[in-house]
Structure 1
Amino acid sequence: MAIKDKLSGNEAIAVAMRQIDPDVVAAFPITPSTEVPQYFSQFVANGQVHTEFVAVESEHSAMSACIGAEAAGARTMTATSSQGLALMWEMLYIAASLRLPIVMSVINRALSGPINIHNDHSDSMGARDSGWIQLYCENNQEAYDNLIQAIRIAEHKDVQLPVMVCYDGFITSHAVENIELIEDEKVKEFIGEYKPQYSLLDRDNPISMGPLDMPAFYFEHKRAQAEAMKNAKRVILEVAQEFEKLTGRKYGYFEEYKMEDAEVGIVIMNSTAGTAKFVVNELRKQGIKAGLIKLRVFRPFPFEELGKALSHLKAVAIMDKAESFSTAGGPLFTEVRSAMFDYAKDTKAVSYIYGLGGRDVRPDDIMGVYKDLLEIARTGQVKSTFNYLGVRE
């Protein structure tokens, strides 16, 4: 039977880590992720886990230590935010290229400058091409559930890639919500014992890691990473099906909310999806056929599936909590629109960048987006493809 509790997002992540009982956690504090290693270090001090907790001097060192531990055959985890993730940049690519299944919670926070400790997605979106799988979470329950599934996804023999579990700083990380926890023994059974395919400490099968790749080999190395990411699409759904049998909670690449007969919709990520669902419900009461898609898996990107899911809409808004400075919309917009070119050519698409640096996004703001979409659906005309929501011009 599920265990009902009230936890913040960071507490929920720490509890999931306790249940997983990783071999090594290496971490450095940074707001708003600091509570994750703080809570977990209490479990270490109390003898509730067998984890070797490594307190390091920087986030670069944290990921370096994770790489060393995972290369030695240890199940390894960490957490960070914002500038911490940026300081890890070099090591993110190394972790992925070495095919090390590290699992890291990324508590989304704006990147400096100017210095800002509040939420947007510029940190994880900046790392989107580093070779890490990326899962995004609307609330505390999803953060907990995704972290447990991330272990299975990362360590699968056909994947062997690191995973980021991303959720919104303060909004999700520090807000307390009702949550259903899985019993400790069931979590242990679900994730299983870690049996690395390769290990630096395997004396019978000696290997080297981090070699120099000259042009004769580097391209093939990258191609193998890309194939592993392609395999991850299948594995993510397989793990989700097993998780649903265990908990009754269903996960896929994305959630479709009232999309069956929708004429207008938005594509959105993380906590703002909750606000948007409220707006969809209000519009439905007025007889307006509104819907939304909340993206859970950004890497690997569900190109075909998402494109097809949008094909029946008259107009869609893709909402980014990050500015890519491309002058052609945010990172989510460019990838979704690319998918629509093959599968939803007749659906009008517009970009909205919103919430940067923690700027509040209220139901009225989202309602305004839907009103714009309804006008586009009525006229078939897009006055402005690239838009900002809630900014003082």
Structure 2
Amino acid sequence: MTPKGDLEMEKMVVVEGSYAVAHAVKVCRPNVISAYPITPQTHIVEDLSQFIADGEIPNCEYINVESEFSALSALVGSSAVGARSYSATTSQGLELMHEVLFNVSGMRMPIVMTVANRAVSAPINIWNDHQDAISQRDTGWIQLYGENIQEVSDMTAQAFKIAEDKDVLMPAMVCMDGFILSHVYEPLVLLEQELTDEYLPSYKPLNVLDPKKPLSFGAFADPNYYTEFRYMQQKAMENALKKIEDAANEFYDVFGRYYGGLIDEYQTEDADIIFMAMGSIVGTIKDTIDKLRQRGLKVGLLKVRAFRPFPAEAIRKVIMDAKVVVVLDKNISLGLNEGALFTETKSCLYNTKNRVPVVGYMIGHGGRDIRMSTIEKIISEAQEVMKSGIKIESQFTDVREELV
């Protein structure tokens, strides 16, 4: 993120991450909010319900439902009639939405949803990893991952702008690490209403359900037509690559804050070892890099902001000159023994002349702490990879052997 000026420092307040997200949603002027409480996203919708009760979100309907499946199903109806629609969920709640996630994407509804990332059961675990959202990566939703509260707050307005773009019209998840970001108090600048109105115009849908002009949404498609629907969704995702960049640049023009669009780099220019990661772990990696740089180690970081659509070309350009790439995943594809970011990073290098060694680590499952000492240990292993040559593999980190 670009350094804050004196004026922005004066605007800073200290609030809970969930409140910052709720405030960001408020100033985006939604018409319908539908959600079901589930830890750790509950505070977001609690704050939103209070805003509505206090009359702070005009022309907005808050729907109480009996499940997460119903929460998203209700927004299918609201989006179909042209309402700017929002929800929030996590973990098992997101998994319960699975069927409806496909429906929303297939009907090209630009719904925005905050996902407070949390491990999935069983066993029951309420702490953070990315398995919940990663499990939904193929449902046709844009997925953006935030490093800190300021970015998640700002990303909320960007998500609406991207999703509602006429060349995209795809739903978007704004992913924030549960508890680590949702429940922490940090200083940030809340989105100002006047600037948000300048940045995010009112939603003007292309197609709406209207008795005066009858249309069908999600109608039956036989084999003669189904492929073309999937093709159009894919093209919309490809269009979103540029729109995500545009939204970040336009946000900077209005608010003066910039995080990178699809990706962000930290000391990668001369790096022999480049880390790749998503979410709040990025802060720990940056601190470790600063420490290692003082020892003369050339280490950098490539933060992936957009996991869907996957920015393969942007990633390839950054990592091609590295001597080794280290990918950290807070998820696992069981049976493959790889994290999703690692798998897709390898695909970036397929058929390239420069075969950069890539190593993957599955880390932080169920909220296990990721300390600087762990990152330093991984650095030592990456240095061995540099000496030995090409090596592509993935492994768990910090497994307690006495428990297995």
Deviations 1:251-302 (A, max 9, x none): 2211111000000121111000100001100110000100111100000000
**What is the alpha-carbon distance in structure 1 between the residues aligned to residue 107 and residue 393 of structure 2?**
40
What does residue 120 of structure 2 align with? 111
Once residues 313 and 124 of structure 2 are traced to their aligned partners in structure 1, the CA distance between those partners, rounded to angstroms, is 38
Q: CA deviation at 1:376?
A: 1.3
Unaligned residue ranges in structure 2 (runs of 5+):
1-6
Match of 1:16 in 2: 24
Residue of 218, 230, 234 corresponding to 1:226: 234
Amino acid aligned to 1:120: D
Does the 8 Å contact 1:308/1:344 carry over to 2? Answer: no
Who is 2:274 aligned against? Answer: 265
Structure 1's 252 and 344: CA in aligned 2 closer, same or farther, altered over 3 A?
Answer: farther
SS at 2:196 equivalent: helix
Task: Name 1:315's counterpart in structure 2.
Answer: 324
TM-score by length of 1: 0.97
Q: Distance in 2 between the 1:37 and 1:381 partners? A: 48
- The residue aligned with 1:52 is 61
Distance 1:126 1:145, change over 3 A: same
Which residue of 8, 12, 23 maps to 1:4?
A: 12
SS state of the match for residue 67, structure 1? Answer: helix
Number of residue pairs aligned between Structure 1 and Structure 2:
391
Aligned residue number for residue 163 of structure 2? 154
CA distance in 1, matches of 2:352, 2:86: 38
**Range moving further from structure 2, 53-62 or 318-327:** 318-327
Distance, in Å, in 2 between the alignment partners of 1:255 and 1:343 is 22
For the residue of structure 2 that corresponds to 1:32, the secondary structure is: coil
Cα deviation, 1:201-258, whole Å, max 9, x if unaligned, reads 3x44321112111101110011011111111111111111110111222222111110
Contact 1:307 1:344 in 2 (8 A): no
Contact persistence 2:263–2:314 (CA under 8 A): no
C-alpha deviation, 1:188, in angstroms: 1.6
Contact 2:356 2:390 in 1 (8 A): no
Matched residue type, 2:386: A
**CA distance, structure 1, for counterparts of residue 31 and residue 288 of structure 2:** 44
Give the partner amino acid of 1:157.
Answer: K
Name the SS for the 1:165 alignment partner: strand
Does the Cα contact within 8 Å between 1:310 and 1:344 map onto a contact in 2? no
2:369 aligned partner: 360
Q: Judge conservation of contact 1:328–1:334 (CA < 8 Å) in 2.
A: no
Q: Does 1:83 align with 2:111?
A: no
Q: Following the alignment from structure 1 to structure 2, what is the Cα–Cα distance between the partners of residues 339 and 177?
A: 36
Residue from 165, 184, 196 that aligns with 2:205 = 196
Moved more, 371-380 or 220-229: 371-380
Q: CA offset at residue 308 of structure 1?
A: 1.8
Provide, for residues 68-121 of structure 1, a one-character-per-residue CA deviation record: whole Å limited to 9, x for no partner.
100111000000000000000000000000000000000000010111100000
Q: Does 1:97 align with 2:76?
A: no
Corresponding residue for residue 377 of structure 1: 386
Aligned partner letter, 1:174: H
8 A contact 1:118–1:169 mirrored in 2: yes
Output the CA distance in 1 between the equivalents of 2:132 and 2:196: 30
The TM-score normalised by the length of structure 2 is 0.95
Alignment partner of 1:335 is 2:340: no
Aligned 8 A contact 2:355 2:390 in 1: no
Distance across 1 between alignment mates of 2:150 and 2:275 = 23
Q: Match of 2:346, SS?
A: helix
Please name the residue that 1:211 is paired with.
219
What amino acid is the match of 1:17?
A: V
| Partner of residue 168 from structure 1, selected from 171, 177, 183 | 177
Q: Which residue of 2 aligns with 1:34?
A: 42
Could you tell me how far apart the structure 2 residues matched to 1:149 and 1:76 are? Answer: 14
In 1, distance between residues paired with 2:326 and 2:146? 20
C-alpha separation in 2, matches of 1:143 and 1:119: 16
Give the fraction of aligned pairs with identical amino acids, expressed as a percent.
43
CA deviations over 1:39-58 (Å, ceiling 9, x no partner): 11110010011210001000
What's the offset of the Cα at 1:380? 2.1
> Which whole-Å CA distance do the structure 1 matches of 2:53 and 2:38 have between them?
21
Cα deviation 1:114-155 (Å, max 9, x = unaligned): 111000000000000000000000110010011010010000
| Alignment partner of 1:305 out of 314, 318, 322 | 314
How big is the alpha-carbon RMSD for the aligned residues of Structure 1 and Structure 2?
1.2
Deviation at 1:344, TM superposition (A): 6.8
Relative to structure 1, the CA distance from residue 105 to residue 344 in structure 2 (aligned partners, 3 Å threshold; closer, same or farther) is farther
Alpha-carbon separation, structure 2, partners of 1:170 and 1:181:
19
Cα distance in structure 2, aligned partners of 1:133 and 1:190: 20
Does residue 289 (structure 1) correspond to residue 298 (structure 2)? The answer is yes
Counterpart residue identity of residue 67, structure 2: S
Equivalent position SS for 2:350: helix
Determine the C-alpha separation between the residues in 2 that align with 1:343 and 1:132. 29
Q: How does 1:343-358 map to 2 (within 5 A)?
A: 343=352, 345-358=354-367
**Uncovered stretches (5+) of structure 1, i.e. residues with no partner:** none
Q: How far is the alpha carbon of 1:381 from its aligned partner?
A: 5.7
Amino acid of the residue matched to residue 125 of structure 1?
Answer: I
Q: Deviations over 1:368-392 (max 9, x none)?
A: 111111121133264x822111221
SS at structure 2 position matched to 1:25: strand
Alpha carbons 1:264, 1:315 under 8 Å: kept? yes
Instruction: Work out the CA distance in 1 between the residues paired with 2:398 and 2:278.
Output: 17
User: What is the CA-CA distance between 1:345 and the residue it aligns to?
Assistant: 3.7
